[in-house]
Amino acid sequence: MKDNVKEWIEGEGEKFLKEIGVKKDQTVLDFGCGVGHYTIPASKIVGKDGRVYALDKDSNALNKLKNTTEQCNIKNVELIKESSEIPLKEDSVDIVLCYDVIHYGDKKERITIYNEIHRVLSKDGLFSVYPKHHKEDYPLMELADIDLERIIDEIKKAGFILEHKFLKTLLHDEYYNKGYILNFRRC
């Protein structure tokens, strides 16, 4: 495990997620979880009475996450292989993490994701977005087709209210990165 990832998994990730609003006993959906850099710290925070749904379309990433949860004896994570439809009940999730994901889809795909998240999020739930690779972001900013304000507007139009915009240091792939975290609540 790379040093940054190890540091993140062993404490920095928990500290970060607590600061953005993850709490004990909650139900969290890590949408586009990859290998679980946010899933694992979230599972530690929510504890044995909480639940983390780790959703990703990549079978290889989910297999790596499965191995990690088994090696670490983590029992409160459920893996879901899916791309944009969320196979969970309405109003069943307290927090949705959508980190470094939305740039993969076009506007129509993003709207579908926002609508699904709105459907599963509880009335007072939190939708936390890390919109990596937008036009003002480094690296790869020249490859993005959407700026941060347009992302905020899209999410607002899907029935959310921007509650807080943080500039935070967080893990991106295997290195630390400074980026904006957007916390929304359902309207």
In this predicted model, what pLDDT tens digit does every residue of 141-186 receive, in sequence order? 544 667 889 899 999 999 999 999 999 999 998 999 999 999 999 9
Per residue in 107-152, pLDDT (tens digit) is 899 899 999 999 999 999 999 999 976 666 665 554 466 788 989 9
Residues with Cβ within 8 Å of residue 34, at least 6 apart in sequence? 56, 58, 61, 65, 100
Domain extents for the chain? Answer: 3-186
Pick the CATH number of 3-186 from 3.90.1580.10, 3.40.50.150, 1.10.10.410, 3.30.390.50: 3.40.50.150
Q: Is the preceding omega at residue 87 within 30 degrees of 0, hence cis?
A: no
Angle at 170 between CA 108 and CA 186, to 5 degrees: 45
